[in-house]
Every structure is written in structure tokens, then in C-alpha cells.
Chains A and B, each alone.
Chain A
Amino acid sequence: GENVEQHPSTLSVQEGDSAVIKCTYSDSASNYFPWYKQELGKRPQLIIDIRSNVGEKKDQRIAVTLNKTAKHFSLHITETQPEDSAVYFCAASRSPGNQFYFGTGTSLTVIP
């Protein structure tokens, strides 16, 4: 089955700096890669996703890049703010069934 690795496990940045979180996957059939943000004690919330037919997607301060050949994808957060502090999970999936395989999470702390 699919194996998703995520790095780093913890990340601290100064407010205003950029943060980058990287994930690799093993199953070349995976074609959908969402990123979830989970604040303490709350539900995971989708922040951005990318499909295998594009290499990059951007939504304001958040961007995701995908390298299908190397089987890795990354989350980029620019101009970080304290409210960006949370645990971020990457995931990979493919149809049918569509189960998500999650990474181990990155705890991001933005220092004011």
C-alpha cells in the first residue's frame, strides 16, 4: 500500500518568514494530494489540495508543489502569522476507494 513520509516533524519560524513542509509518497498511482491543518483539539481542515495533472497550485499565502517523477509534494506558507501555528498533515489518495494515507504531521509554531 501507499506510504507517506512527512518532514520535518516540528518547525519553528519567526512571524513573517516562510515555512516549507515536505512529503514523499510511494504509490505512483496516487493522484490526489490534500493538505490539512489541525489546531489543537479540533478537526482536520482542508487548506489546499493538488491533483496529479498540475505541478503547482497557489491560494493567497499558501502554495503546494508536486513532483510526480520524484513522488514528492510540498506545502509552502509565506508571510507566516501566529494563527498559522497548528499541526499540518499531508495525504495521498487514489481512486477507487479513495482512502487517504496521511503523513505523520508537522507541528508548526510561528513565533511573534
Chain B
Amino acid sequence: KNQVEQSPQSLIILEGKNCTLQCNYTVSPFSNLRWYKQDTGRGPVSLTIMTFSENTKSNGRYTATLDADTKQSSLHITASQLSDSASYICVVTTISNFGNEKLTFGTGTRLTIIP
């Protein structure tokens, strides 16, 4: 069972509208959380990274929030553009007792922007 759950699985919105994507995780102990954007048939590109002490991080029209207490993160996209159509992947890093890092990838939210 994937311990990083994203919702919704897919989302369709009109160009210019805002949207929010959700990421809930159960993995622990938490080290950091990253959001990636993946265009169809391409590799993911990092949007933001947040550590335990950060609760918000912006990258242009993308704003990520993190609530480490409830183990939830969201990615808010403002004034959507056609080029925002992509899959958005949440990745949570944990650290084992031996200090090894492990990345757990969510299954992604497929966002489609229509004109």
C-alpha cells in the first residue's frame, strides 16, 4: 500500500481558474516533501521542497503548504494556464534508523486545463 496518497486522481478546470491538489502521507519519520510536475511522456521537474519547519513555499503561480502535524500537503495553482496540464507528484522522504533516506512517490494527480 502506497503511503503517500494524492487526491483527486484527476482534475479538469477552465483556464484562468485556481485549483488545489492534496497529498496525505503516513510515512515517518518525516524529512522533507517535494512536489514535481510531469508532462506527458517526459521526466518530472521539481517545483518545491519543504522541510519539517516550513509550512509554505512558493514558486511563481505554484504554492505548496505543509502541515506536518496532520501529515498533509497541498499544491495550489493560481490563474491556471494551458501549460499547467500535467501530472503533479508528491514525494515524501523518510530517514531510517540507520540514517538512510527513502523516497516514497505518490501516484500523482492528472490536471487538465481546458480553454
Is the pairing of A and B real? no
Q: A residues touching B (Cβ–Cβ < 8 Å)?
A: none
Q: B residues touching A (Cβ–Cβ < 8 Å)?
A: none
